[in-house]
Amino acid sequence: MIGTASCVALTAGAASATDMTIVSWGGAYSASQQAAYHDPYMEANPDVNIINDESSAEAVAKLRAMNEAGNITWDVVDVVASDAIRLCDEGLALEIDADTQLAPAPDGTSASEDFGDLLVSDCFIPQIVYSTTFGYRTDMVGDTPPTTVCDVFDTETYPGKRSLEKRPINNLEWALLCDGVAKEDVYDVLETEEGQAQAFAKLDTIKDDVIWWSAGAETPQLLADGEVVMGSTYNGRLFALIEEQKQPVAMLWDAQVFDLDGWIIPAGLPEDRQQAALDYIYFATDTQRLADQAKYISYGPARASSAPLVGQHAELGIDMAPHMPTDPENAKNTFLYNYEWWADYRDDLDAKFQAWLAQ
């Protein structure tokens, strides 16, 4: 299927017959995609030039605006599962037939069986299992490093700035967990006005000590610069900071939030660009490519058939399995993010969160 289509993408206001715009998150994550997917694809398809766009955090809003304007300038977009569900429900993402449009496993197992329960939307092609968790400066926490996520709220024992993502997801869940709500009750509580008020009240206790981030690269930089004592970000970003950059930072895996990340293809592309995007997806989500990404970043591949192929880091030569969020030692106390719940409540809680920030 490789090389069966060319593509046309509109970028920077100009058309190029060979450009394909792929949207992702930037930093170490985009670098892993470049090495595992983009470079091999361009080598196999020399007529294609992949352009990286780092706008995934704004993907829903931007795709809505592009659809409204009738001008879709993106070809393939990396999004979290809840955003994929929203985009699919709104008709902004292309529906995919996994067993005809994605590669089977090497042993012939169908793609739908190989991805299994991670196919959470008809428009979503899973890529990785990742987690959002905390890193902390080992030289700024004294002799008693933090051991639970609730230490983030303990400014007396751990004075200094924290960094948290500038969105309600994860922050509201952690706030309720650290205000005594049982893990299994978090989303039931968060559905209520009282539960939302409870979560915001808990966040109020550290609001003055928080630096808010929007891009995944920000917390690693804040930690490297010693501007925060601890901060949330994606586990792969912390892996790069600790293992590749050798910064005095350690992981706090407690209550790490598992989530899925993967691809969607925008609906409404011209036929040639749609076919080119499907061609790329077929290549980039096969068993070997997903395993290859784990050579560069500590995210678990979404295919069952990829897991046995995960080996050592491409440059460091260290085993990657112990650095995955799914490793048994790291996964002793995980929090399972409810992407379907957030697909229903995201717009409302985004508005409330931004209003709270502005207070």
Please write the tens of the pLDDT for every residue from 82-117.
Answer: 899 999 999 999 999 999 999 999 999 999 999 998
Q: DSSP assignment, residue 104?
A: P
Which positions ≥6 away from 201 have C-beta within 8 Å? 179
pLDDT at 208: 97
Pair 11, 21: CB distance under 8 Å: yes
Beta bridge partners of 336: 258
Residue 41 pLDDT grade (very low, low, confident, very high; cuts 50, 70, 90): very high
pLDDT at 339: 82
Residue 152 pLDDT grade (very low, low, confident, very high; cuts 50, 70, 90): very high
Of the listed ranges 118-122, 165-169, 293-297, 327-331, the one predicted with least confidence: 327-331
Q: DSSP assignment, residue 176?
A: H
pLDDT at 13: 36
* In the predicted structure, residue 141 carries a pLDDT above the cut 70: yes
pLDDT at 322: 85
Of the listed ranges 93-102, 115-124, 201-210, the one predicted with least confidence: 115-124
Pair 325, 331: CB distance under 8 Å: yes
State the Cα–Cα distance between residues 204 and 185, nearest whole angstrom: 21
222-229: average pLDDT: 98
- Tokens 């979404």, residue? 302
206-227: average pLDDT: 96
Identity of residue 340: E
Residue 270 pLDDT grade (very low, low, confident, very high; cuts 50, 70, 90): very high
Q: What is the mean pLDDT of the chain?
A: 92
Pair 277, 7: CB distance under 8 Å: yes
Which residue has better confidence, 356 or 120?
Answer: 356
Residue 52 pLDDT grade (very low, low, confident, very high; cuts 50, 70, 90): very high
* In the predicted structure, residue 8 carries a pLDDT above the cut 70: no
Which residue has better confidence, 44 or 329?
Answer: 44
* In the predicted structure, residue 254 carries a pLDDT above the cut 90: yes
146-167: average pLDDT: 97
50-74: average pLDDT: 96
**CA neighbor of 305 nearest in space, from 121, 116, 97:** 116
pLDDT at 15: 43
pLDDT at 271: 97
* In the predicted structure, residue 9 carries a pLDDT above the cut 70: no
> Which percentage of the chain shows pLDDT scores above 70?
95
The counts of H helices and E strands in the chain are 14, 12
> Which percentage of the chain shows pLDDT scores above 90?
82
